[in-house]
Amino acid sequence: QVQLQESGPGLVKPSETLSLTCTVSGGSITTYFWNWIRQPPGKGLELIGYISDSWSPNYNPSLEGRVTISVDTSKNQLSLTLNSVTAADTAIYYCARARTGRNWLDPWGQGTLVTVSS
């Protein structure tokens, strides 16, 4: 059974870069699409972007220009980088698997809270 686990700093200063990793266990990171989704505290869900099984990224236009998603197949890890963060980027960040870029999301990681604050 595939499991996803997000990790990274829980606190990032404004204007700096947020970097997170999602480790995939119980299965290969190849063949699927891998998504990053975030959820501000007490609010709804927002797609950040995904990377395809051919390692082509696709980003939400609302974040394009600040975000990079990549994969390290040797480590079975997915990475997220978000530049120039502000308090509005404070959220729980989830990684989730999909069969294609337009498909249901399952499974999800447990999520990691990132707070942007000085």
Partner 1 sequence: EIVLIQSPEFQSVTPKEKVTITCRASQSIGSSLHWYQQKPNQSPKLLIKYASQSMSGVPSRFSGSGSGTDFTLTINSLEGEDAATYYCHQSYSLPITFGQGTRLEIK
Q: Which is nearer to partner 1, 5 or 83 (CB)?
A: 5
Whether 92 contacts 116, CB under 8 Å: no
Interaction between residue 8 and partner 1 (CB under 8 A): no
End-to-end CA distance of the chain: 39
Nearest distance, CB of residue 22 and partner 1, angstroms = 12
As to burial, measured by CB atoms within 10 angstroms (0-12 exposed, 13-18 middle, 19+ buried), residue 64 is exposed
Whether 9 contacts 17, CB under 8 Å: no
Tokens of 100: 């294609």
Which part of the chain contacts partner 1 (CB under 8 A), choosing from 18-26, 60-68, 72-80, 82-90? 60-68
Interaction between residue 60 and partner 1 (CB under 8 A): yes
Interaction between residue 46 and partner 1 (CB under 8 A): yes
Q: Which residues bind partner 1 (CB under 8 A)?
A: 44-47, 58, 60-62, 94, 98, 101-111
